[in-house]
Structure 1
Amino acid sequence: MIVITAPTSTIGRLLVDELLDRGASLRLVARAPSRLAPGVHERAEVVEGSHGDAAVIDRACNGAEAVFWLAPDDGDAPSTQAAYVDFTRPAAEAFARHGVPRVVAITALGRGTPLAEHAGLVTSSLAMCDLIAGSGVAFRAVACPSFMHNLLNHARAIKEQGKFSMMIDPDLKAPTVATRDIAAAAAQLLLNDAWEGVSQVACLGPEDLSPSDMARIISDVLGTEVAYQQIPGSAFKARMTGFGMTEGMAQGMADMFDAKNKGLDNAEPRTSESTTPTTFRQWCEEILKPAVTA
């Protein structure tokens, strides 16, 4: 039995589909089971509730052979510590109590670098992984740079204003990864019961691109000029709080992008194992373009 948390998230949906297609026995922890894809209820066991709830995650971990752990995006959390470490604490206790053999979690790049010590969401995500690893389970952290998927948040601006804006330096080349490739890496680990110990698996996409590179590719795919605009950290933070995010989480986002601008995502060496297949152009053609033109 493989337990999947956040099964209605972008990564979770893809992971559930892949594991079910490969015949895995799944138990899904979902706060809103009605949001699961059609047909999933009939093919998987569902535990309703938040995986941050001690009673819910305890019930889910009973008899589990492996757990996929993904802390949810929570703009209402008072701090990044609360969103990642405090949220995960009941699960780490349940992993130990039930003797869960293996846990796979999604996290960020930067482990072992000074930049990761003051990187907001990244710092707390890495601390979350330390907490899980300390529970005694065999653990793999799937470490990722920024997701291509995040650009979907800019689809309306791309369509109506012909631009997208972020904190990242326009000429900073860095890895970016498709969520489908993250899900594939997680599925491979969850279906393999041979690994032990604690380690990290990086997913770096196939190429390093700057926001300016991305703008050129998006323009080519859409057939219209799209520009990139860098915004300062103060404006970015104000935008996040304007969307309803708490002060602590907005600051954590700004601190993360500040660390990325200083090279946080560039510290991980690219290898054949960490290079994932989906190119940014392919993602734009298959995912971004339909979202922009819809």
Structure 2
Amino acid sequence: MTIGITGATGQLGQLVVQNLKERNTDANIVALVRDPKKAADLGVEARVFDYNQPETLAEALKGIDKLLLISGNEIGNRSAQHTNVIEAAKKAGVKLIAYTSLLHADKSSLALAGEHLETETLLKESGIPYVILRHGWYTENYVGGLSGVVEHGTFYGSAGDGKIASASRADFAIVDAEVLVTEGHEGKTYELAGDEIFTLSDFAKSLSEVAGKELKYQNLPVEEYAKVLEGFGLPEGVAQFFAGTHIGTEKGDLFDDSKTLSKLIGKPTTSLKAVLKASL
């Protein structure tokens, strides 16, 4: 069996490849990447794979039995990119596609949800057996600039008391690998989130304990929070996007208490404090 991993040099893709290698599976692992030179450290076969070059994709997928389609990072262009991959997979005879979607994509208010849902529909209509892995929020999304937060003593946001059930990228990588090397997942849609539930106020308390310094969470109107992010150096559009995710947080878009992720990986998901300690 040959397993292909798209975006294998990305933060998630590298972890999936590493996890597959550690399992000592007999499967051949292929990194599907834009620049194979960047995949040299992965220690697996690498093939050129660019979502925006559809005429080259079917050839790159030859011999791939199972494909992990990690969603592209070009917001607004992902539906077209994923269409290219799925069409190429049909031509190449791929036997299973596992796709990293978004938690509760069918009802989420997050701007990201639309393209994920479109891709899920494409998969279901493709005729290729599929697994939909609806990833919740990565805890690492909150750790950028933590040293500055600790220095200034305030963690800003606009999520109110919205509940978050995030997990580490490593947790998601384990389940992504799991569905590729075990049976019984075809046709399933998994809602994947962390075991630990917290608000951003809880986040500030945990960060205080880890950093050994009292920190507070300051909730701002979303427009003000976007301006704060711009002040930290984010471009206006990016700042508005991240601020918008906090609106979704308040609505419950990042919450799920099914514990499906920990059940599938066979252990509790990584705690918030563990991620904070590693980040600091």
TM-score of the two chains, using structure 2 as the length reference:
0.85
SS of 1:104's equivalent in the other structure is: strand
5+ residue gaps in structure 1? 75-79, 290-294
Tell me the equivalent position of 1:99. Answer: 93
SS of the residue corresponding to residue 99 of structure 2 reads strand
For residue 175 of structure 1, report the CA deviation from its aligned partner.
Answer: 0.7
Contact residue 205 and residue 215 of structure 2 kept, 8 A: yes
Q: Contact (CA 8 Å) 1:102, 1:138: kept in 2 or not?
A: yes
1:108 aligns with 2:102: yes
Q: 1:87 offset after TM fit, Å? A: 1.8
Work out the CA distance in 1 between the residues paired with 2:143 and 2:256.
26
Instruction: Give the AA of the match of 1:31.
Output: R
Match of 1:278 among 267, 270, 275: 270
2:16 maps to amino acid = L
Deviation of residue 125 (structure 1)?
A: 1.8
**Structure 2: how far apart are the matches of 1:101 and 1:193?**
13
Give the Cα separation in 2 of the matches to 1:251 and 1:221.
29
Aligned residue among 140, 162, 165 for 1:149: 140
Match of 1:123 among 91, 114, 131: 114
Quickly say closer, same or farther: Cα 1:236–1:97, change in 2 above 3 A.
farther
CA distance in 2 between partners of 1:252 and 1:218 (Å): 24
In structure 2, what is the Cα distance between the partners aligned to 1:284 and 1:221?
Answer: 7
Percent identical residues = 21
Aligned residues between the structures: 272
Query: Counterpart of 1:228 in 2: which secondary structure?
Result: strand
Q: Confirm whether residue 233 of structure 1 aligns to residue 234 of structure 2.
A: no
Post-superposition CA distance 1:246-292 (Å, at most 9, x none): x4x7665554432331122336644563784211122222x222xxx
Structure 2 unaligned spans of 5+: none
How far apart are residue 2 of structure 1 and its match?
0.6
Structure 1 distance, partners of 2:225, 2:11, is 23
- 1:85–1:131 CA contact under 8 A, matched in 2: no
Alignment TM-score, normalising by the size of structure 1: 0.81
The residue that corresponds to 1:217 in the other structure is 206
Cα distance in 1 for partners of 2:125, 2:240 equals 28
Name the SS of the counterpart of 1:202 in structure 2: strand
SS in 1 for 2:123: helix
| Alpha carbons 2:166, 2:254 under 8 Å: kept | no
For 2:134 and 2:49, the matched residues in 1 are separated by 26
What is the match of residue 263 of structure 1?
252
CA gap 1:55/1:253 in 2 versus in 1, 3 angstroms: farther
**Partners in 2 of 1:131 and 1:61 — Cα distance?**
18
State whether residues 103 and 192 of structure 2, in contact with CA within 8 Å, keep that contact through their aligned partners in structure 1: no
